[in-house]
Amino acid sequence: MSLSLLFKALADPTRRAVLQELRAGERSAGELAQKFPLARSTLSQHLGVLREAGLVEVEVRGNRRVYRLAASVMEEALAYLLELGKGDEEDEKAHPKHLGLDG
Protein backbone atom coordinates (compact mmCIF):
# COMPACT_ATOMS: atom_id res chain seq x y z
CA MET A 1 0.00 0.00 0.00
CA SER A 2 1.40 3.39 -0.99
CA LEU A 3 0.44 5.95 1.60
CA SER A 4 1.02 8.78 -0.86
CA LEU A 5 -1.49 7.30 -3.30
CA LEU A 6 -3.91 6.57 -0.48
CA PHE A 7 -3.84 10.12 0.90
CA LYS A 8 -4.03 11.58 -2.62
CA ALA A 9 -7.14 9.50 -3.28
CA LEU A 10 -8.78 10.45 0.01
CA ALA A 11 -7.97 14.16 -0.37
CA ASP A 12 -10.64 14.71 -3.01
CA PRO A 13 -14.26 15.13 -1.81
CA THR A 14 -15.68 13.50 -4.96
CA ARG A 15 -13.58 10.38 -4.42
CA ARG A 16 -14.66 10.26 -0.77
CA ALA A 17 -18.27 10.50 -1.94
CA VAL A 18 -17.71 7.60 -4.36
CA LEU A 19 -16.27 5.53 -1.50
CA GLN A 20 -19.29 6.44 0.62
CA GLU A 21 -21.61 5.28 -2.18
CA LEU A 22 -19.70 1.99 -2.46
CA ARG A 23 -20.11 1.38 1.28
CA ALA A 24 -23.71 0.45 0.48
CA GLY A 25 -22.54 -2.21 -1.96
CA GLU A 26 -21.01 -2.71 -5.35
CA ARG A 27 -22.08 -0.41 -8.17
CA SER A 28 -21.57 -0.45 -11.92
CA ALA A 29 -19.85 2.49 -13.57
CA GLY A 30 -23.22 3.49 -15.04
CA GLU A 31 -24.89 3.47 -11.63
CA LEU A 32 -22.11 5.64 -10.22
CA ALA A 33 -22.41 8.01 -13.19
CA GLN A 34 -26.10 8.52 -12.36
CA LYS A 35 -25.20 9.52 -8.78
CA PHE A 36 -22.53 12.06 -9.67
CA PRO A 37 -23.03 15.06 -11.97
CA LEU A 38 -19.70 14.57 -13.72
CA ALA A 39 -18.60 13.82 -17.24
CA ARG A 40 -18.02 10.09 -17.57
CA SER A 41 -14.36 10.74 -18.34
CA THR A 42 -14.00 12.72 -15.10
CA LEU A 43 -15.66 9.96 -13.08
CA SER A 44 -13.44 7.43 -14.81
CA GLN A 45 -10.37 9.42 -13.73
CA HIS A 46 -11.60 9.47 -10.13
CA LEU A 47 -12.23 5.72 -10.22
CA GLY A 48 -8.74 5.22 -11.66
CA VAL A 49 -7.16 7.10 -8.75
CA LEU A 50 -9.19 5.02 -6.28
CA ARG A 51 -8.13 1.80 -8.04
CA GLU A 52 -4.49 2.87 -8.14
CA ALA A 53 -4.60 3.54 -4.39
CA GLY A 54 -6.12 0.11 -3.87
CA LEU A 55 -9.31 1.49 -2.33
CA VAL A 56 -11.66 -0.04 -4.89
CA GLU A 57 -11.66 -3.19 -6.95
CA VAL A 58 -13.22 -3.51 -10.38
CA GLU A 59 -14.69 -6.58 -12.04
CA VAL A 60 -15.65 -6.75 -15.69
CA ARG A 61 -19.03 -8.44 -16.19
CA GLY A 62 -19.85 -8.60 -19.86
CA ASN A 63 -19.77 -5.00 -21.03
CA ARG A 64 -20.11 -3.56 -17.50
CA ARG A 65 -17.47 -2.63 -14.94
CA VAL A 66 -18.58 -3.23 -11.38
CA TYR A 67 -16.80 -1.45 -8.51
CA ARG A 68 -16.62 -2.40 -4.84
CA LEU A 69 -14.66 -1.28 -1.82
CA ALA A 70 -11.38 -3.04 -1.14
CA ALA A 71 -11.83 -3.45 2.59
CA SER A 72 -8.34 -4.80 3.24
CA VAL A 73 -6.67 -1.56 2.14
CA MET A 74 -9.09 0.48 4.24
CA GLU A 75 -8.23 -1.71 7.24
CA GLU A 76 -4.51 -1.27 6.61
CA ALA A 77 -4.91 2.50 6.33
CA LEU A 78 -6.91 2.65 9.53
CA ALA A 79 -4.31 0.53 11.33
CA TYR A 80 -1.58 2.88 10.07
CA LEU A 81 -3.45 5.96 11.30
CA LEU A 82 -4.06 4.34 14.68
CA GLU A 83 -0.36 3.56 14.96
CA LEU A 84 0.46 7.18 14.18
CA GLY A 85 -1.76 8.19 17.08
CA LYS A 86 -0.02 5.77 19.39
CA GLY A 87 3.33 7.06 18.22
CA ASP A 88 2.38 10.59 19.23
CA GLU A 89 1.48 9.42 22.72
CA GLU A 90 4.75 7.55 23.04
CA ASP A 91 6.69 10.58 21.77
CA GLU A 92 4.98 12.78 24.36
CA LYS A 93 5.89 10.34 27.15
CA ALA A 94 9.52 10.34 26.03
CA HIS A 95 9.66 14.15 25.76
CA PRO A 96 12.01 15.69 28.34
CA LYS A 97 9.15 17.72 29.82
CA HIS A 98 7.41 14.47 30.86
CA LEU A 99 10.65 13.09 32.27
CA GLY A 100 11.36 16.17 34.37
CA LEU A 101 14.49 16.93 32.35
CA ASP A 102 13.51 20.29 30.87
CA GLY A 103 15.09 22.37 33.62
Query: What was the pLDDT predicted at 88?
Result: 54
* pLDDT of 91 strictly over 80: no
Domains of the chain (ranges, CATH numbers): 3-99 (1.10.10.10)
pTM here is 0.74
Query: What was the pLDDT predicted at 102?
Result: 46
55 three-state secondary structure? coil
The residue among 17, 13, 19 whose CA lies nearest residue 53 is 19
Give 8 or 77, the one with higher predicted confidence: 8
Q: What percent of the chain has pLDDT over 70?
A: 83
The residue among 48, 56, 58 whose CA lies nearest residue 73 is 56
Secondary structure of 30-45 in the HEC alphabet?
Answer: HHHHHHCCCCHHHHHH
